[in-house]
């Protein structure tokens, strides 16, 4: 239904770790493969061997972050963050309420936002209403396509239990994508979000995304620890006998060699 359910039993979604994503696009293509063959119309490509453009439900952006200069870091290096983005399955999904036909809906049982393609007239308004660019109109089918959270995998009795996860999560080589119930505070994904300070994209939009992003950990701070680290590099060569003097003493101290045994 076009109206949003007042609440959903579970809030299934993804947690994406920006500290771990290397930007390999594995999730992008795995998603393309699964969703071309499965739910609804195939994800088509136009002019695939020329100036190609096609429908994708998941795309990996990249951003550069330039930390501000400070005393400790007068010219800090810029950082690069790979940023996969697909439907966030918002609790307050504007794409659902704007739909004139009821094709877009949010499932009561798990909160997944889906498009019933049989009812979609391809007006595009849901895509206009989505701040995240999560929806793409398929030019061949004329209907709106979006991430289904692999609704045809996660409960699929024809798949082994361990494979009942979205295709992008299953394929992610670095393990940067996590799937679970974000409505359950005790779930692994919820704990991960709590531990690592997971955040929402564009919170000011009021969409209340279910998917969360884990921030990159602080980077390039090793020089700040130089005072703690420096003693580790205290030269042994300055003692009596220089390096060779140290070497002889150190060799004598090696445990148990003369007895032929080891520690």
Partner 1 sequence: MHPAPSVIVFTTLSGLGFGLLVFLGLGLPDVSGLVAFVFFAIAYGLAVGGLLASIFHLGRPERALKAFSQWKSSWLSREGCCAVAALLVMALYGFGTVFLATAWPVVGGIGAALSLATVFTTSMIYSQLKTIPRWNMPLTPALFLSISLAGGALLAGQETLATGLLIIAGAIQLAYWVKGDQAFATSGTTLATATGLGRGGTVRAFEPPHTGTNYLLREFVHVVGRKHSQKLRVIGFTLGFALPVLLLIFPFSGLMLKHLMAAVAVLSHLAGVACTRWLFFAEAEHVVGLYYGKR
Partner 2 sequence: MTFQQPQVNTSPDVSDEIRKTTCYMCACRCGINVHMKDGKVAYIEGNRDHPVNKGVLCAKGAAGIMQINAPSRLKAPLKRVGPRGSGEFVEISWDEAISTAVGWLNELHETAPHKLAFFTGRDQSQSFTSFWAQNFGTPNYAAHGGFCSVNMATAGIYTMGGAFWEFGQPDWDHTKLFIMFGVAEDHDSNPIKAGLGKIKARGAKVIGVNPIRSGYNAIADEWVGITPGTDGLFILSLIHLLMKAGKIDLDYLSRYTNAPVLVNAAEGAEKGLFLRDDDDKPLVIDRNTGKLTAFDTPGVRPDLSATHTVDGVTHRPVFHQIAERYLSEDYAPEAIADQCGIPAKRIRAIAAEIARVAFDEAIELDIEWTDFRGETHQKMTGRPVSFHAMRGISAHANGFQTCRALHVLQILLGTVEVPGGFRFKPPYPKPAEAHPAPHCNGRPGRPLDGPHLGFVQGPEHLALKEDGSPARIDKAFTWENPMSSHGLMHMVISNAYKGDPYRINTLFMYMANMSWNSSMNTTGVMEMLSARNDDGGYVIPHIIYSDAYNSEMVSYADLILPDTTYLERHDCISMLDRPICEADAAADAIRWPVIEPDRDVRGFQSVLVDLANRMQLPGFTNEDGSPKWKDYADYIVNHQRKPGIGPLAGFRGKDGDKVGRGEVNPEQLNRYIENGGFFVEHIAPEAAYYKPWNKAYQDWAVGMGIYDSPQPYLFQLYVEPMRKFQLAAEGFGDRQPPDHLRARIKHTMDPLPIWYQTDQQGNEGYTINALTQRPMAMYHSWGGQNAWLRQLHGHNPLYVPTKLMRENDLQDGDWAKVSSPHGEITVPVMEMAALNDNTVWTWNAIGKRKGSWALNENAPESTKGFLLNHLIHELLPARGDGMRWANSDPITGQAAWFDLKVKLQKTAAPEDPSTSKPDFPPLKSPVDSGPKDLKWKVGK
Q: Which of residues 187-206 bind partner 1 (CB under 8 A)?
A: 199-206
Q: What single-letter DSSP state applies at residue 77?
A: P
Q: Give how many residues touch partner 2 by CB under 8 A.
A: 102
Six-digit token string for 228: 């703690």
Contact 106, 113 (CB under 8 A): yes
Q: Mask of contacts with partner 1, 86-115, x by CB under 8 A?
A: --------x--xxxxxxx------------
Q: Please tell me the total number of residues recorded for the chain in this structure.
A: 263
User: In angstroms, what is the minimal distance from the CB of 168 to partner 1?
Assistant: 14
Dihedral angle, C-alpha 185, 189, 193, 198, nearest 10 °: -130
Residues 210-249 that bind partner 1 (CB under 8 A): 213, 215-216, 218
User: In angstroms, what is the minimal distance from the CB of 101 to partner 2?
Assistant: 9
User: In angstroms, what is the minimal distance from the CB of 206 to partner 2?
Assistant: 24
* Residue 62 interacts with partner 1 (CB under 8 A): yes or no: yes
* Residue 143 interacts with partner 1 (CB under 8 A): yes or no: yes
* Residue 205 interacts with partner 2 (CB under 8 A): yes or no: no
Distance (Å, whole) CA 162 – CA 239: 60
Q: Give how many residues touch partner 1 by CB under 8 A.
A: 68
Distance (Å, whole) CA 14 – CA 165: 10
> Taking CA 147 as the corner, what is the angle to CA 161 and CA 7, rounded to the nearest 5 degrees?
80
Contact 15, 199 (CB under 8 A): no
* Residue 89 interacts with partner 2 (CB under 8 A): yes or no: no
Task: Please provide residue 114's backbone torsions phi and psi, each rounded to the nearest 5 degrees.
Answer: -125, 160
Residues 21-80 that bind partner 2 (CB under 8 A): 21-26, 28-30, 32-34, 36-38, 41-42, 44-54, 56, 62, 64, 66, 77-80
Task: Please provide residue 144's backbone torsions phi and psi, each rounded to the nearest 5 degrees.
Answer: -80, 135
* Residue 136 interacts with partner 1 (CB under 8 A): yes or no: yes
Residues 7, 22, 142, 257: which binds partner 1 (CB under 8 A)?
Answer: 142
Distance (Å, whole) CA 88 – CA 117: 19
Which CB atom, from 95 or from 149, has the smaller least distance to partner 1? 95
Taking CB under 8 A as the binding criterion, the range among 86-94, 125-133, 199-207, 248-256 that sits at the site for partner 2 is 248-256
Taking CB under 8 A as the binding criterion, the range among 84-92, 126-134, 204-212, 225-233 that sits at the site for partner 2 is 225-233
Which CB atom, from 234 or from 240, has the smaller least distance to partner 2? 234
Contact 86, 14 (CB under 8 A): yes
Dihedral sign for Cα 191, 194, 198, 202, please. Answer: positive
């Amino acid at each position: 239904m076009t109206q949003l359910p007042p609440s959903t039993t579970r809030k299934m979604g993804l947690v994406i770790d920006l500290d771990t994503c290397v930007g390999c696009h594995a999730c992008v293509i795995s998603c393309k493969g699964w969703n071309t063959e499965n739910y609804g119309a195939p994800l088509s490509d136009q002019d695939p061997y020329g100036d190609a453009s096609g429908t994708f439900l998941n795309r990996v952006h990249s951003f550069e972050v330039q930390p501000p200069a400070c005393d400790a870091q007068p010219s800090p290096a810029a950082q690069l963050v790979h940023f996969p983005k697909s439907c966030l399955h918002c609790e307050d999904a504007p794409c659902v309420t704007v739909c004139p036909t009821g094709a877009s809906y949010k499932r009561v049982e798990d909160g997944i936002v889906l498009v019933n393609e049989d009812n979609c007239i391809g007006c595009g308004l849901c895509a206009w209403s989505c701040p995240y660019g999560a929806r793409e109109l398929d030019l061949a089918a004329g209907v709106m396509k979006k991430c289904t959270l692999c609704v045809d995998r996660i409960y699929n009795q024809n798949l082994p239990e361990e494979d009942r996860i979205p295709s992008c999560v299953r394929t992610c080589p670095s393990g940067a994508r996590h799937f679970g119930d974000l409505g359950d505070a005790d779930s692994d994904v919820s704990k991960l979000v709590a531990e690592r300070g997971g955040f929402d994209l564009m919170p000011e939009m009021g969409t209340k995304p279910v998917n969360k992003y884990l921030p990159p950990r602080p980077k390039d701070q090793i020089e700040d620890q130089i005072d703690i680290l420096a003693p580790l590099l205290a030269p042994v060569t300055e003692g009596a006998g220089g390096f060779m003097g140290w070497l002889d003493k150190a060799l004598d101290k090696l445990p148990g060699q003369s007895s032929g045994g080891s520690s």
